[in-house]
Structure 1
Amino acid sequence: MPLPEDHTEPGTSCTVAGWGRTRERGHLSTTLHEVQLNLVEPEKCKHVLQTVKSAMMSPERLHRPPPALTVLCAGPETGGRDACQGDSGGPLLCPLGSGGGHWAALGVTSWGKGCGRSWKLNSSRPPSQRGSPGVFTDVRLMLPWIKLTLRRAESKRLRRPLSRLCGVQDGAMNDTEGVIRNPTSRRRYYDNNELCVWSISVPPGYSILLEIEYVDIENDSFCLHDRLTLSVAPQKPVGIFCGSVRPSQFYLNNSNHATVLFSSDVSVGGRGFFMRYRPVRRLADPGCDTVVLVQNESSIHSPGFPQHYLNNCMFRWVLNFTYFELEESSRCLYDSLVVFGDVEGSEEIAVLCGAAVPPPVISYHRLMVLQFTSDSSVTHRGFSAHLEFIPHSAVE
């Protein structure tokens, strides 16, 4: 941003950038372009704009004194270089001072007559063939308004809770059992540009059970825009999700601390989420639709083993198989155990089904996620496996 007293001489070479058209009535660009334009003398700028506007003015308005100049003009009289349609709102960046080491957004791309037209001898041309230099809002004249707007935004931000970036109360949850939601009502939408962090703690000897009752978060394939993240430690996410499909409940076995993080980007939102958390000593058989975090070496098995697993089941665990019997099918389309190397499910390590005991499955990294799925018919006894931790050097 420039200072009110910053002065830049006419003829100074400035830079304009944008994704606008590269010629008049051309196509919008798919890549960012820039062009160097020299600042035009204020009096010449005022004159050429009068020649453009006079063709659009009524006779009585022509005799009124011209308003004060609130814009900057930049570009050669002969045309050929200019901002164009689609560049509006972009910056006009100019060097300040004699050394040119400090640059500022002196203007904001506003409008122009055509793109790259010559505006020399404008008055002698028919109105439809006249051109103009690029016209840019003079940021220095807008500084009082910009400062007032920023102060209002800062005042509103300071009234926000704890993180000051969250539209609802976040921070440490004081109760060992409670509710986390954003926004406070399902009839509202969450804010853009939010970053909310809640921390949950339960007494030693207890684990945490999280039950998500509803979720409506901007959806995309990898939850890159808005997302809800559950973690048990820094860089250890248990679940990352978005969209409107209600996730499983989460059983954080042997974890008495958890973090819930919600973030949103600059556009598109939803009705948010609502979850409950509570301490549990032990969940004997979590059943289907539960994500279980396993942090210690342990035996794991399909729901209800050695009885038949249920139809329409999905179960996740976070492998030497001792027993394996799932419905067999081509590409394991019916019932399957899928092993992933990440929470998002993009690193597929193995897809297993059938009656043969698989060889040991080794994770790519420190994290392994198991997803068990069954369809609506035919069941078997399932599987049982022992989870074992080995040093990374052992598989190099």
Structure 2
Amino acid sequence: MREAYIVESVRTPGCKNKKGAFRETRPEDLLSFIMKSCAEKAGINPIEIDDCMIGCAMPEGEQGINVARIAARMAGFPNEVSGATVNRFCSSGIEAIALASLRVQAGWSEVAMGGGVESMTYVPMGGNTPRPHPEFAKVEPEAYISMGVTAENVAGSYGITRAEMDEFACNSHAKAAAAQAAGVFTEIVPTPAYYYEPQADGTFKKTSKIISADDGVRGGTTPEGIARLSSPFKFGGGVTAANSSQTTDGAAATIVASKEACDRLGLKPIAKIVAYAVAGCKSEEMGVGPKYAIPKALKIAGLTIDQIDCFELNEAFASQAIHCLKELGIWGTDAMKKVNPNGGAIALGHPLGCTGAKLTATLLAHLKRTNGKYGIVSMCIGGGMGACAIFEMV
């Protein structure tokens, strides 16, 4: 297979659902804007993009009807540019980038786009009308289990304490606040948010405002300050809103090109995916997925964990992130400095199908700034899975 190079990777800010800056901005607007911005920043004519693979965990409602194709047209891409919506729940965004890369590696495309979108304001967790299969749900109810309950299961089964979870959450906010103050999120493209103001005649006036930063970061968060919160998932439990990922709205996009396309179009390679792996686990412990997916991807790549310069490990819940880090031998070592160095989803948000693409943009910007070589994007996945992509800077 031939080489496939990432030539650009960008994201919108991540904003809190229902309360954040994108609460009235439709997902197609977020996605089409970042797709267009990605092409512009890469310096590529959209006609060169063969296909757009876009992750979305809940592809219905405003982000249904093949949002990848709709957004490509809204972005002004020519009719010749096709699109497909990809769903592997929380890893949909990285799955989409991997598929775009595979298209180029296989010679099926010269240039492809991978990305992700999720508006958890418009389409809630689980979708608008979830309908579990009645007979199967009786046999295996864990297939439909609440994500929060799985986080409590992990905490209980593996001895993750409330104190550990709350401290982990506070560190996420502290790192994210420091990163924002230092201006390190260079992968963010300032993005228009739209609002609808009621008028005296009963109509609405559409207005907009440019959003430049993730709006869920709470600098100064302390373990004492969040200790009063109770678990909504289990009586006396330790998983709370404060030590779980924020439900978020956002979009991200990445362009992948062959060497021949890079040479022909004058594109500068940034990085490449050297391995991508997914692994299954128990549905009721879905958060442990990364502890299986990361070693699997490392084996494919022929790398060891100590060769990785940065881990973007999605903080779906503090309990599962802590457990995975302990199992991987990272927790309590100097290697922890490499994990989510600029904060994670507890502070920056988890826009489900966008997250893998969002973390890719953040990872590559960090590796470029720090002269790192290898980086990992990994997350647990609803239903009992884990995913891991390994990137190499070029």
TM-score by length of 1: 0.20
TM-score between the two structures when normalised by the length of structure 2: 0.21
